Structure 1
Amino acid sequence: MLNRRRFLSAFAAAAAFPWLSSAARAQESAHESSTTSLPPALAALKNRRHEATPITSAEREQRFEHARELMGKEGIDAVVMIGGTSLVYFTGIRWWNSERLFVCVIPRKGAPFYVSPAFEEDRAREQIRSAPGGAEARVYTWQEDENPYVLVTRGLNDLGLTSGKIGIEERVTFVFSDGIHKAAPGFEIVSAIPITAGCRAVKSSAELKLMQLANDITLSVYEAAWKSIHPGITNAQVSEWIGAAYGLVGFPGDASCQVDEYSALPHGSIQPQMLKEGSIVLIDDGCNVDGYESDISRTFTIGKPTDKMKQVFDMVHRAQAAALAAAKPGVACGSVDAAARKVIDDAGFGPNYAHFTHRVGHGIGMDGHEWPYLVRGNPQLLQAGMCFSDEPGIYIHGEFGVRLEDDIHITEDGAKLFTPQSPSLEEPFANA
């Protein structure tokens, strides 16, 4: 999937470097074969695919039952999903979305059913057979000149439903949800977020193991990249190294690399950047291990940091620790953001979003960003098994920025980091 950082990295890598000297351009050209000539620290990374244990069919069956329990509580009679993360979560089916309607409908009672283009039926059934309820699932097919939306109503009618609430998964496109609404006038269309997020937000032990592996891998790749970085290379080259290193360990991943004044832009810039002695460098993003994401940021310097850089790093480090300490079951999501923000405000980098310009964290799991969010005013209470990024930052426009990001999971008595905090700008992986 093309996320925001992958987009920026690709854009930057494709951009010309008209401001670089001819010598620098020659050096950049010499690095273009990085995927086959990685620096030693990166080339030494080993394939770790064997460490990942996939989610079982039995666990997906449990997810179906949990979804139905939540549907009962919310008064929702069926949930509609198109291709995407939630469909994979519940069924294991991977489907590319086009303008043609393909949906899975999970009813509160009865077997799931599917609506598929007729010419895709064989391909659909191939995956449906392995999904929960696949043996009993009906597949309603439509030809190119037919209205597919009436088949959603027909499937519900065949289950004895002529009215009620249809929950639409949040990534369903408007044209599909509108088509279903028009074809099912006896039903109320509502959001399925209480069901999908209600299931996905709390991770199982199997999910936590995959996320732990994703975080371990990301940190090992980052450390190898840090050992390889030197003045005279570009930020695009660092991103290419990291992408190639993920290929070596056996899982897809990437990273944004932002340098000096561009590190003050939380999601970076497409401008080409050169790393120099004394530069501050921010790398961010992660990898995907059997469908589960990591999201880690590290900020460090090439050589000796300035006193101001060290002061800012110390405040961000304290803010990250404060958020970790505040996160525990029964605490409101917004309180975790407040704990980190107070440290930064008290240090003179406030008020509000003056220099800490974003929330302290987002839910993470099968999507890099998912429900719930650690943001001001969010009253949702934390539960054991929820996972988040913990990523405070201080950004000084035109100078530099510092962000420290590790992922955490909520336990019965607090919160735990998947990866250790970064101790300093000069030794960012000393505790790893």
Structure 2
Amino acid sequence: MQLPQDKPQKKDIPVIEEEDFEDRHNAARRVMAANGIDLLILSGSVNLYYFSGIEVPAKDRLFAMFLPKEGDPFFICPGFEKASVLEKIKYGSGNIRTWEEYEDPFALSASILRSRNLGNKTIGIDEGMPFWYFSRFKKSLPYANFTDANQITNKLRSIKSGKEIALIRRASEISLQVHKIAFSSLFEGMTEHDINRIYHEAHEKLGASNVWGGASFGPASSFVHGTQQTFVLREGMVILADSGGAVDHYTSDISRTITFGSPPEKVRAAWEVARKAQLAGIEAIRPGVTCESVDLAIRKVIEDSGWLPSYKYLRHRAGHGIGLEVHEPPYLVEGNKTPLEENMVVSFDGAIYFEGEFGIRLEDNIRVTEDGCEIFGDQLATSIETPLG
């Protein structure tokens, strides 16, 4: 394995700054007003990070952000955690209310909301919040009308800002480079553990964090997300590589499929269909097209090639949004009539699986543009021998 020797340059990587969080709050308030929501409660989720820049998992002690339609946001925080929170939070640190171990943080939250005339209003609840949090809020605020905050959070997070797009693009470029490094490091007798280590080390060397994924060999590639079985690389085996890493929390998700040595004819034929399916999805991408249309365009290629029904061979949705999470809205799946919008960023596959034999997946990260799409990294697979353009 030959990893790059120089540390990645960071001077051209955009930074999510205070004004970006302020823009997110103002955008949320506009959507809240349009949907009759007076307050958002965010806790234990990626949405909390999106609006504040702090990651605090949901545990036994409540940490929450309250974003009203009018007025400043505030936080509820365990008293002994305040100093560490102030070190980590990127926006909104001017209004943190603490609670002590002998106090009920949900009752305290309700008291603060009532003092702001929000105790009997419509409150949007973060989908990432544990149910018992919601249950305690509901008990403490019996006159409030609770609703799903997804109509706010999903809408805002699915349309990326210029900085978010740049971060995902950089993460994608890194992952493409890592695929190249990994494929140049193959040897007979290699284990999946060996190649997975390459994926993790190379991503980190190039400046990515939160690295996930790796590669599956032979029959393991027929499992969409791998298997507990382990295989050693031999001549003619399929290698399905699916990996990503994050740049300032914004991640990539890129898949490539090759063979070690010459591909069997069935593998080559399936690979070509997968490539045509991915190209059909790319051709379908543009503003106004529904999410399901992309999924159906990909499936049509598979079925027109004689492999039907398509769900026997492509057993999962064709794609998904990508950003702070590897999988996030919008989801490119039959039945989802959400229209695509400019600056949505999605990842989708041309994929085919033959259970117990092998699987093919070609996946890239793509931005919806004014009249089509931008393919991050611009290295679409062109043949099974040239998986990176």
Q: What root-mean-square deviation, in Å, do the aligned CA atoms of Structure 1 and Structure 2 show?
A: 1.5
Q: Counterpart of 2:381 in structure 1: which amino acid?
A: S
Give the drift of 1:328: 0.9
The correspondence for 1:267, drawn from 225, 247, 262, is 225
Give the drift of 1:158: 2.4
8 Å contact kept, 1:110–1:159 = no
> Matches of 2:316 and 2:38 in 1, distance apart?
37
> Is residue 2:139 matched to residue 1:182?
yes
SS at match of 1:303: coil
Q: How many residue pairs end up in the alignment?
A: 387
> Is residue 2:326 matched to residue 1:365?
no
Deviations 1:165-211 (A, max 9, x none): 11111110011111101100010111100111111100011111111
> Matches of 1:328 and 1:152 in 2, distance apart?
44
> Is residue 2:386 matched to residue 1:427?
yes
> Matches of 1:357 and 1:127 in 2, distance apart?
41
Give the drift of 1:48: 4.0
**What's 2:342 paired with?**
384
Give the drift of 1:44: 4.7
**What's 2:265 paired with?**
307
Q: Counterpart of 2:230 in structure 1: which amino acid?
A: P
Deviations 1:115-136 (A, max 9, x none): 11122223334445x414x43x
> Matches of 1:127 and 1:68 in 2, distance apart?
24
**What's 1:62 paired with?**
23
**What's 1:201 paired with?**
158
1:12-411 aligned within 5 A:
39-40=1-2, 42-44=3-5, 46-128=7-89, 130-132=90-92, 134-135=93-94, 137=95, 139-252=96-209, 253-411=211-369
Give the drift of 1:230: 1.4
Q: Tell me the TM-score normalized by structure 1.
A: 0.87
SS at match of 2:312: coil
8 Å contact kept, 2:307–2:313 = yes
> Matches of 2:248 and 2:48 in 1, distance apart?
15
Identical amino acids, percent of aligned pairs: 37
Q: Counterpart of 2:387 in structure 1: which amino acid?
A: P
Deviations 1:334-373 (A, max 9, x none): 1110000100011112214111111110110011111110
> Matches of 2:255 and 2:222 in 1, distance apart?
13
CA distance change for structure 1 residues 300 and 48 in 2, over 3 Å: closer, same or farther?
A: farther
Q: Counterpart of 2:386 in structure 1: which amino acid?
A: E
Give the drift of 1:62: 0.4
Deviations 1:30-62 (A, max 9, x none): xxxxxxxxx22x355753444422112111110
> Matches of 1:97 and 1:257 in 2, distance apart?
32
SS at match of 2:353: strand
> Matches of 2:22 and 2:189 in 1, distance apart?
53
CA distance change for structure 1 residues 290 and 313 in 2, over 3 Å: closer, same or farther?
A: same
Q: Counterpart of 1:79 in structure 2: which amino acid?
A: L
> Matches of 1:45 and 1:358 in 2, distance apart?
39
Give the drift of 1:147: 1.6
> Matches of 1:86 and 1:211 in 2, distance apart?
17
8 Å contact kept, 1:361–1:375 = yes
Q: Counterpart of 2:32 in structure 1: which amino acid?
A: M
SS at match of 1:402: strand
Deviations 1:201-239 (A, max 9, x none): 000111111111000000001101101111111011000
> Matches of 1:273 and 1:212 in 2, distance apart?
33
8 Å contact kept, 2:276–2:350 = no
Q: Tell me the TM-score normalized by structure 2.
A: 0.96
Q: Which runs of 5+ in 2 are unaligned?
A: none
Deviations 1:261-286 (A, max 9, x none): 11111101121210111111001020
SS at match of 2:323: coil
SS at match of 2:283: helix
> Matches of 2:180 and 2:32 in 1, distance apart?
45
Give the drift of 1:257: 1.1
Q: Counterpart of 1:421 in structure 2: which amino acid?
A: L
> Matches of 1:384 and 1:426 in 2, distance apart?
33
SS at match of 2:258: strand
CA distance change for structure 1 residues 124 and 46 in 2, over 3 Å: closer, same or farther?
A: closer
Give the drift of 1:114: 1.1
8 Å contact kept, 1:260–1:280 = yes
SS at match of 1:210: helix
Q: Counterpart of 1:380 in structure 2: which amino acid?
A: T
8 Å contact kept, 1:233–1:275 = yes
> Matches of 1:183 and 1:125 in 2, distance apart?
27
Deviations 1:49-106 (A, max 9, x none): 4442211211111000000001011111111111332112111122243211110010
